[in-house]
Amino acid sequence: MQRNFSTPKEFRIERSLTPQAVACIECHRQETPGIFADWAASRHASSNISCIDCHLAQPNDVDIAKKHEQYYDKPEMPFGERKYFAPIATVVTPKDCSRCHPDEAQQYAKSKHANTLEIIWKIDPWLNDGMNSEIERKSGCYACHGTIVALDENGEINKETWPNVGVGRINLDGSLGSCTSCHTRHRFSTAEARMPEACDQCHLGPDHPQIEIFEESKHGTIYHAYKDEYNFKAAPGTWTAGVDYRAPTCAACHMSGASTVMTTHDVTERLSWELQAPLTVRPSDFAALPADTNWKTERDKMKKICYQCHSNAWTDDHYAMLDKVVNEYNETYFKPAKQMLDELYEKKLLDKTKFFDEHVEVRFYELWHHEGRRARMGTAMMAPDYAWWHGFYELKHHYNQYMEEARHLVETNKKAYEYPDFPAATGNTTKPAVIFGPKK
């Protein structure tokens, strides 16, 4: 009787791949075995999609990797012959991915993710007032929001703009974003993108602690208890609550399909409030990037996601609470604080030249950007500790201290102390022309 021994899986390249494609695979098998192993385990490899299908450039493309082209003139190297030559682009963009994934690319292109670089340039004083340096931006802000990829004088990718996989990266071909932000190279796994760990690369910290909020919520608790039983590898469009997972992850609520709600790569969908904004507004009223949506329609979509596991009453009551929290934040905290800030500027007790160089400005910023967001997002995603202790509790104390300092300036008619040596306030304040057009 033959015993049932397991056999190691071997990747074979005997399935009608072109000589150029074979050259890419064999070379990278030796030179970058990690990349090869990831790709070989991917659905791309199973579908006979090779390196060249994603990285192939047209002869007149500006982003052709010139150093890579030189390899084919080195006969001493394996495959160093012109017959294996193919023009290659280092940066694979959503435009490239759209050749096989047109719907996903189209949805992504209009999302907040793809347009996040434009959003922060419209609402973020760190950029607009040059209060951080270029290297601080590249290592921090742009790592998630994206750089504007550019070429240097030699036609190579400018090191100041690369490497980067930010969701709002602006590519040389004009497309926005990077699919590998969520489907990391070179496995491009749907299963990975369904896990909350795919989102926590960017959605964490004092200003947008979605992953911490998820961890605290019942959803997160159930996920960690039963994630080994989740079927993350279900085919696209079939991932089903109660069948493939017990409690939702970020993707299950914001992207995956359920009932009559279609799968989407536009994370702006299903939102009925814009909780990142200083003053909470409907997504269609968010001036930085107005959504082409109706909030009632999108709320109904999200409710259908909730109905997979929750009753109508539970879901409706949750949204009623969220609406009251939004009103509490807007009317009790943000509007009075903004009115006081405007008064200080009007009376010239604060200098408008730069933000963050006066303490009152910092306090106002953190009111909405830190505690205010935590209170609203904690409520929306059912994390009471973030709604109260990290949210409204801290917001109250911050608000009181802010108003005390502001009223003192008004009563004494004394200008606020201005930090004379704010460190590394050297960032370029010119809005990127590729987004906003040439400066007038």
pLDDT digits (tens, 9 = 90+) for 364-423: 999 999 999 999 999 999 999 999 999 999 999 999 999 999 999 999 999 999 999 899
d(CA 12, CA 9) in angstroms, rounded, equals 10
**Does residue 6 have a pLDDT over 70?**
no
pLDDT digits (tens, 9 = 90+) for 147-178: 999 999 988 999 999 999 999 999 999 999 99
| pLDDT recorded at residue 13 | 55
438 confidence band (pLDDT: 50, 70, 90):
confident
- 374: closest CA among 360, 355, 356, 393? 393
Q: What is the 3-state secondary structure (H, E, C) of the chain?
A: CCCCCCCCCCCCCCCCCCHHHHHHHHHHHHHCHHHHHHHHCCHHHHCCCCHHHHHECCCCCCCECHHHHHHHHCCCCCCCCHHHCCCEECCCCHHHHCCCCHHHHHHHHCCCCCCHHHHHHHHCHHHHCCCCCHHHHHHHHHHHHCCECCECCCCCECCCCCCCCCCCCECCCCCECCHHHCCCCCCCCHHHHHCHHHHCCCCCCCCCCHHHHHHHCHHHHHHHHHHHHCCCCCCCCCCCECCCECCCCHHHHHCCCECCECCCCCCCCCCCCECCCCCCECHHHCCCCCCCCCHHHHHHHHHHHHCCCCCHHHHHHHHHHHHHHHHHHHHHHHHHHHHHHHHHHHCCCCCCCCCCCEHHHHHHHHHHHHHHHHHHHHHHCCCHHHHHHHHHHHHHHHHHHHHHHHHHHHHHCCCCCECCCCCCCCCCCCCCHHHHCCCC
d(CA 430, CA 291) in angstroms, rounded, equals 25
pLDDT digits (tens, 9 = 90+) for 392-408: 999 999 999 999 999 99
**Does residue 77 have a pLDDT over 90?**
no
For residue 32, how many other CB atoms are within 10 A of its CB? Answer: 13
Look-up: residue for tokens 């802000």? 141
| pLDDT recorded at residue 24 | 93
| pLDDT recorded at residue 1 | 45
**214 within 8 A of 385, measured Cβ to Cβ:** no
| pLDDT recorded at residue 440 | 67
d(CA 358, CA 336) in angstroms, rounded, equals 19
**Does residue 216 have a pLDDT over 90?**
yes
Percentage of the chain modeled with pLDDT above 70: 96
Percentage of the chain modeled with pLDDT above 90: 88
pLDDT digits (tens, 9 = 90+) for 7-64: 555 555 555 789 999 999 999 999 999 999 999 999 999 988 999 999 999 888 888 9
Over residues 309-328, the mean pLDDT reads: 98
Look-up: residue for tokens 């602690």? 209
| pLDDT recorded at residue 71 | 87
d(CA 303, CA 399) in angstroms, rounded, equals 34
| pLDDT recorded at residue 391 | 98
| pLDDT recorded at residue 11 | 56
Look-up: residue for tokens 């030179």? 31
Token duo for residue 315: 């879901």
Token duo for residue 226: 């039963």
> How much is the mean pLDDT over the chain?
94
**Does residue 215 have a pLDDT over 80?**
yes
| pLDDT recorded at residue 263 | 96
Q: What is the length of the chain?
A: 440
Amino acid at 98: S
| pLDDT recorded at residue 228 | 97
d(CA 47, CA 374) in angstroms, rounded, equals 43
**Residue predicted with more confidence, 2 or 259:** 259
119 confidence band (pLDDT: 50, 70, 90):
very high
C-alpha distances (whole Å) from 346 to each of 179, 243, 333, 339, 362 are 45, 59, 20, 10, 18
| pLDDT recorded at residue 10 | 57
**Does residue 277 have a pLDDT over 90?**
yes
